Amino acid sequence: MSDEPDTILPRIDETACTGCGECVVACPTQALSQVDNKARLTHPDLCTYCTICEGICPVEAIELPFLVVFSESNLAEWAGSTLMSDPHRP
């Protein structure tokens, strides 16, 4: 992966990217560009996180990390349902 800071944006593995350009063509916002025969996220401000680039990459060189955020009430609800469904719980 690149040396960019860890952000919630598409990450492109430059060693895996073949430079086919499919993701660049498919990107609906033109957030990606071809630079030195590799795909690059040149306009991160335009990225809408639609996941098209990740799905179309034939060598899986693009990943879109997700950040899951729980509110206090959702976390309590999730924790309670997890505990209730634990078969090892006495």
**pLDDT tens figures, 61-80:** 999 987 666 667 666 676 66
Closest CA to 14 of 2, 32, 30: 2
Q: Match 């955020």 to its residue by tokens.
A: 69
Q: How sure is the predictor about 1, in pLDDT bands with cuts at 50, 70 and 90?
A: very low
Residue 3 located in a structural domain: no
Within a domain: residue 2? Answer: no
In a domain, 4, yes or no: no
Half-sphere exposure of 23 (CA within 13 A, CB side): 34
Secondary structure E strands in 1-90? 11-12, 32-35, 38-41, 62-63
**Locus of tokens 């693009």:** 62
> pLDDT tens, 10-58?
999 999 999 999 999 999 999 999 999 999 999 999 999 999 999 999 9
pLDDT over 60 at 3, yes or no: no
Has residue 6 been placed in a domain?
Answer: no
Number of Cβ atoms within 10 Å of the Cβ of 19? 14
* Cα-based distances in Å from 38 to 61, 65, 70, 77: 10, 20, 36, 44
Q: How many domains is the chain built from?
A: 1
**pTM for the whole structure:** 0.66
Q: Give the domain extent around 64.
A: 11-84
